Structure formats: C-alpha cells, structure tokens
Structure 1
Amino acid sequence: MPTAGRLSGAVIFALFGWYLAGLTIPFFPEANAPTFWLPVVSFIGLVVGWRICGSRAGQGYNPAIGVGLTCGVAIAFCALFALSFNQMISNALRNRYNDGTMEAVIDVFNQMIDYGTLFADGTLIATVLIGGIVCAWITEFFGQRFP
C-alpha cells in the first residue's frame, strides 16, 4: 500500500544511494567505476527505502535510528553483492571457473570481501551510518505528518 512514508523513504534513500555511489568512485582502481554503478546503487536505495524504511515510518524517531542503521547497512551489502555478482559474471564469461558453478558462487563472496576491504574507509562507513539515520528521520517526519 503506497503511503507518504514509503514514497518519501524511496525517494530519500534513492538520493542517498546516488550520493554514496558518487563517494565510492575514487575507491575503485584508477577511479574507474563501472558504468552501472550509480543507477544500480540508487535503485537499491529506492527499494530499501520503500521496503524497509518506508514500511516502518510513523513509529517514532527513536526506532527510526535502528531502521536507518539497518537501511544503511542493507544498501552497502546489496551494492557490494551487485558489484561482486557482476564481476563473477564477467569472470564466468571469460571461462575462469574450471570447477563448475559452486566455484563461481563462492567467488561472489570472495569478491565481496575484496571490494569490502577496498571500500573500508572510516569516513565512508560513518557516512553510511549517519546518513542512514538522517534519511530515516526525514522519512519518519513525512510518515508522521502524512499518514
């Protein structure tokens, strides 16, 4: 059911995803991010904002802190997964997996660890956590005002 909380959560977290994707571009080798990076992370933010934050809007500002942290971590995890899955598909098309499908599936998680260490920066982590809380508070504001 569409509500103002869900709509505001989707829009705000999509913008937050776009911002986070822009912040991570310098962390890629030679600052060369994949062409899909900005739209995919924005779409992940849109889905997380609609499904997780927007559905919980209207419960108060204190619970919104936990929801914002959850949304920030969910965006980061899903973005890492999407990037790693794309890398796995690229490797599979180059015939780099000789042992079959399980090697490719396991490599997705190894790629996630590699990209996670690549993006391990205190400022970026703080931005994900604090930005998630601020976005959840804004969503909570609209969720309470326009139920």
Structure 2
Amino acid sequence: MPTAPKLVAALWFALMAWFAAEVSKAHFPDGTQFGWYTYMTGAIGFLVGWIFVGKRAGDTMAAAYAYGFTAIIILVFWALFYFSFEEMIHRSLDTRYRGPMDALVGMVDLFKDYAILVLRFDVVVTLLIGGFFGGWLTEQAARRWS
C-alpha cells in the first residue's frame, strides 16, 4: 500500500544511490563504458527505499538511523550483485566460462572486484551520510503524514 513515508524513502534513496554512483565513476578505469549504471543504481535505491525503509517508518529516531544504515548495506549488496550478475551473463554469452559453476565463481570474483572499485572513502562517506539522513527524513515523513 502506498504511503507518504514509502514515497519519501524511495525518492531519497533513489537520488542518493544515483549520486553515489556518479561519485563512484571516478574510481573506475579510464574508458569504462557505464551504460545504465547510474540509472540502475538509482532504481535499486528506489526499491530499497520503498520496500525496506518505508515499511519500517514510524518508530524511534534511533531505529530510523539504524534502518537508514541497514538500507545502505542492502543497497550496496544488491547493486554489486546486479552488476556482477549482468557482467557474468555477458561473459558467459561470449563463452568465457566452461560451465555454470565456473560462471558462478566468476560472478563472485566480479562482485569482489566491483566492491574494491566502489567502496572508496568518498563513496562510503556519501552513502553513510545519505543513509542516516534518509532514515531521519523517512521518520519525519512518517510522523508528519501518518
């Protein structure tokens, strides 16, 4: 059911994920083709805000900061999972893997490599501040419109 806190959380985490994706682009090698990287990260942020954060609104401020922080962990996990899965699919279509287990192992390696590229100081600070503020903002929306 749509509620104001879900909408506020979805919009904030989509915006924050989009911004964090833009900040993280500086850490990728030169010549990297990003395609839909920023938009997909924003879409994942929207879903995390709507499904996870908005549902938990209406508790204490300490809980708001906690679910804002947890949302960042969920957002980073699903974004890394999605992009490593997508790259694994592209590589498997180019027949770089000998079988499904080799492809899954390759996906885990891609996940690790992307995590090393993305989880830099400026990106982590952006995510932390955005997560805590998103939890606070969602809680304020729940108190005002619920």
TM-score above 0.5, yes or no: yes
Give the Cα separation in 2 of the matches to 1:33 and 1:73.
Answer: 25
Per-residue deviation, 1:130: 2.0
CA distance in 1, matches of 2:74, 2:16: 13
The code of the aligned residue for 2:66 comes to: G
1:106 to 2:97 alignment: no
- State how far apart, in whole Å, the 2-side matches of 1:33 and 1:94 are: 18
CA distance in 1, matches of 2:39, 2:136: 24
CA contact 1:17–1:41 (8 Å) conserved in 2: yes
Are the aligned partners of 1:73 and 1:128 in contact in 2 as well (CA < 8 Å)? no
Deviation, 1:33, is 4.5
Q: Which amino acid aligns with 1:115?
A: Y
Contact 2:27 2:118 (C-alpha < 8 Å) held by counterparts = yes
What TM-score does the superposition give when structure 1 sets the normalisation length?
A: 0.94
2:137 corresponds to: 138
Correspondence for 1:16: 16
Give the structure 2 partner of residue 77 of structure 1.
77
CA contact (8 A) 1:25 1:33 kept: no
Structure 1: distance between partners of 2:12 and 2:31: 26
Provide the secondary structure at the position in 2 that maps to 1:42: helix
TM-align CA RMSD: 1.2
TM-superposed CA distance for 1:124, in Å, is: 1.5
Take 2:122 and 2:17, find their aligned partners in 1: how far apart are those partners? 16
- Structure 1, unpaired ranges of 5+: none
- After TM superposition, the runs of 4+ consecutive aligned structure 1 residues lying more than 3 A away are none
Aligned to 1:86: 86
CA distance in 1, matches of 2:72, 2:32: 24
**Structure 2: 5+ residue stretches without partners:** none
Give CA-to-partner distance per residue, 1:2-53, whole Å, 9 cap, x none.
1111111111111111111111111111163421101100100000000111
The corresponding residue for 1:115 is 114
| Contact 2:23 2:122 (8 Å CA) reproduced | no
The 1-side partners of 2:27 and 2:33 are apart by 9
Match of 2:122, SS state, is helix
Correspondences of 1:21-40 after superposition (within 5 Å)? 21-30=21-30, 32-40=32-40
Paired residues in the alignment total 146
